[in-house]
């Protein structure tokens, strides 16, 4: 059975925001570390750290680690013409492909055999902070990990926009 969750970034990428299920119940919290870094902690409803996502120093890869700082996976952007393409390497499960059309706000996640296992999309308005809907069709990778990955995709895209703005 598919699990649907909703969560969002803050306008200045700092502070905490709640994670909701489709019944509008709070099922966790995102702790957006600060406006000066792109790190995020994913907490359970009791406030216990479950996963952390961040860019290591001088890296363009988004690391996902658990509460004991063991690497769970690594997200990286891949070059593609006319579409957005990312790759998530789960520590013990292989490579997952995350793709979207160039100007779309909807993303598909394919497992190593090419089957659709997860989808997410931005559901915010133009001038709002990014908000996401995540639909996880599989229990291979838990939804809490996909939330960390979605926030990583968002962080990679924000970093690209900042770099492109600085270059002009």
Coil vs helix vs strand at 152: helix
Q: How many separate domains does the chain show?
A: 1
Is the predicted pLDDT of residue 35 greater than 60, yes or no? no
What pLDDT score does 164 carry? 66
Q: Can you tell me the distance from the alpha carbon of 140 to that of 41, in angstroms, rounded to the nearest whole number?
A: 21
Q: Can you tell me the distance from the alpha carbon of 75 to that of 51, in angstroms, rounded to the nearest whole number?
A: 14
pLDDT tens, residue by residue, 112-160 = 999 999 999 999 876 677 899 999 999 899 999 999 999 999 999 988 7
What pLDDT score does 61 carry? 96
* 24 φ, ψ (degrees, to nearest 5): 65, 30
Contacts of 27 (CB under 8 A, 6+ apart): 5, 19, 20, 21, 45
Token pair 């990014």: residue: 130
> What pLDDT band is residue 167 in, cutting at 50, 70 and 90?
low
Provide the CATH number for the domain around residue 133. 2.40.160.200
Segment 92-120 mean pLDDT:
95
Rg (CA), the chain: 15
* 167 φ, ψ (degrees, to nearest 5): -80, -15
What pLDDT score does 15 carry? 83
- Give the domain range for residue 52: 3-167
pLDDT tens, residue by residue, 107-118 = 999 999 999 999
Token pair 């999309």: residue: 121
* 81 φ, ψ (degrees, to nearest 5): -90, 135
What pLDDT score does 159 carry? 81
Q: Can you tell me the distance from the alpha carbon of 125 to that of 122, in angstroms, rounded to the nearest whole number?
A: 9
Decide: residue 12, CB within 10 A, 0-12 exposed, 13-18 middle, 19+ buried: exposed
What pLDDT score does 84 carry? 95
Is the predicted pLDDT of residue 24 greater than 80, yes or no? yes
What pLDDT score does 143 carry? 96
pLDDT tens, residue by residue, 44-89 = 999 999 999 999 988 899 999 999 999 999 999 999 889 999 999 9
């Amino acid at each position: 059975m598919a699990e649907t969750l909703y969560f969002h970034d803050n306008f200045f990428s700092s502070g905490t925001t709640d994670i909701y299920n489709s019944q509008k119940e709070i099922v966790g919290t995102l702790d957006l570390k600060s406006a000066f870094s792109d790190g995020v902690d994913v907490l359970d409803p009791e406030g216990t750290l479950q996963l952390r996502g961040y860019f290591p120093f001088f890296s363009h890869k988004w690391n996902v680690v658990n509460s004991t700082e063991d690497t769970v996976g690594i997200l990286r952007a891949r070059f593609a013409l006319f579409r957005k393409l990312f790759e998530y390497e789960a520590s013990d499960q292989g490579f997952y492909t995350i793709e979207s059309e160039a100007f779309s706000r909807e993303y598909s996640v394919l497992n190593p055999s090419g089957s659709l296992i997860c989808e997410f999309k931005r559901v915010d308005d133009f001038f709002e902070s990014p908000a996401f809907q995540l639909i996880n069709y599989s229990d291979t990778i838990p939804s809490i990990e996909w939330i960390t990955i979605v926030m990583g995709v968002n962080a990679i895209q924000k970093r690209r926009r900042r770099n492109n703005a600085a270059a002009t």
